[in-house]
Amino acid sequence: MITDKIEQYLVKENNSKPLVANKVFTTMFTKKCTRQSAYRYWAYKPEEKQARTLINFELGYLVEKMVLDKAKLSGVPIELNNIWLTVKRGLIHVTCKPDGLYTNKKDLYNVEIKKMSEYGFKDFKKNNLDDSWGYISQANMECEAFKQSGKDVKGTIFIVVNSNTGHIAEEFIPYDKKSVDETFKRIRIVLESTKNTLPERAFEPEVRGNKEYLGTQCSYCDFHKLCYPKFKLQISKGGYPLWVN
Ligand code: SF4
């Protein structure tokens, strides 16, 4: 009665957004697959997102707002939230929107707030922030943007909330110029591609027995049906999507 209307609204609203080519947001280039970035850059139509995915995005924004609000109330305000910054290198200008800037009165830090599942959170606590989702590349581009705007940040404080249990943790990741260089290398590859000559795929299906399976990156990629149209969805015992051919 209510939830189906909410779901329909979310899906409709998401699908009504126009696809625009030639945009360059940092987060388009922070994952490893330049084919994926190029699909987005050239405005290929992504797979329609399910309502549950869109609700998860909304929950991510709420977690970010909650952390910013509570930080302020606890006396450690995180400033400059969600302002647009630009990272420039030569003729390439890329935009990004850091979650905020924190100072302990001595040094400046970029702040990145994430909601993670129990699984991701456990890895994070083990000091094993997996960059397959591009979080570290994104954080380093934001640091670079702050530096270019005159704020010499030392690196990024990741604040992570476990969406299963409500636990919260933080980790400092120092600024890494090499990561910024790698992101610009990927951006150049995408800008030099054309709509019909896309970059190589970063991932291939894994062969197990007489079947092929898409890895995690491809399974969660909005364009996997363009890359691997024959693969069919199965749900694993743990409830995760498995694309099998
Ligand atoms: S499906 Fe895999 S290989 Fe194809 S664009 Fe997405 S991540 Fe890259």
Q: Is the pLDDT of residue 237 over 90?
A: no
Same domain, 77 and 184: yes
Dihedral angle sign, alpha carbons of residues 87, 92, 95, 99: negative
**pTM over cut 0.85:** yes
Residue from 199, 201, 196 nearest 214 by CA: 201
Same domain, 80 and 181: yes
Mean pLDDT of all residues in 2-6: 95
| Residue 33 Cβ < 6 Å to ligand 1 | yes
The CATH number of whichever domain residue 120 belongs to comes to: 3.90.320
pLDDT of residue 18: 86
| Residue 226 Cβ < 6 Å to ligand 1 | no
| Cα–ligand 1 centroid distance for 9 (angstroms) | 28
> Residue 231 is part of which domain span?
203-245
pLDDT of residue 203: 94
> Ligand 1 pocket check: which of 36, 37, 222 to mutate, most ligand atoms within 8 Å of Cβ?
36
Same domain, 116 and 160: yes
Give residue 33's identity as a one-letter amino acid code: C
pLDDT of residue 130: 65
Integer CA distances (angstroms), 245 to 36, 131, 214, 223, 233, in order: 20, 27, 9, 16, 9
| Residue 31 Cβ < 6 Å to ligand 1 | no
Q: Which ligand 1 atom minimizes the distance to the CA of 217?
A: 7
Q: Which ligand 1 atom minimizes the distance to the CA of 228?
A: 1
Q: Which residue has the higher pLDDT, 20 or 87?
A: 87
Q: Is the pLDDT of residue 137 over 80?
A: yes
Same domain, 167 and 71: yes
Same domain, 107 and 160: yes
Same domain, 21 and 90: yes
Look at 208-212, 229-233, 240-244 and tell me which has the smallest mean pLDDT: 240-244
Mean pLDDT of all residues in 62-89: 94
| Residue 154 Cβ < 6 Å to ligand 1 | no
Helices (H), 16-98: 34-41, 51-73
Q: Is the pLDDT of residue 229 over 80?
A: yes
Q: Which ligand 1 atom minimizes the distance to the CA of 223?
A: 6
Integer CA distances (angstroms), 144 to 12, 21, 101, 191, in order: 36, 25, 13, 20
| Residue 35 Cβ < 6 Å to ligand 1 | yes
| Cα–ligand 1 centroid distance for 17 (angstroms) | 22
Edge-to-edge order in the sheet of strand 108-116:
100-103, 108-116, 155-162, 168-174
Tell the residue nearest (CA) to atom 1 of ligand 1. 224
Q: For residue 17, what pLDDT band results from cuts at 50, 70 and 90?
A: confident
Q: Is the pLDDT of residue 147 over 70?
A: yes
Q: Is the pLDDT of residue 223 over 70?
A: yes
Same domain, 74 and 140: yes
| Residue 198 Cβ < 6 Å to ligand 1 | no
115 touches 163 (CB < 8 A): yes
Same domain, 159 and 207: no
Same domain, 69 and 86: yes
Per-chain mean pLDDT for the chain: 92
Same domain, 34 and 126: yes
Q: Which ligand 1 atom minimizes the distance to the CA of 215?
A: 2
Same domain, 177 and 138: yes
Number of domains composing the chain: 2
Q: Which residue has the higher pLDDT, 238 or 179?
A: 179
How far is 2 from 220, CA to CA, in rounded Å? 28
Same domain, 137 and 193: yes
Cα 98–Cα 121–Cα 60 angle in degrees, nearest 5 = 45
Mean pLDDT of all residues in 121-144: 84
Tell the residue nearest (CA) to atom 2 of ligand 1. 218
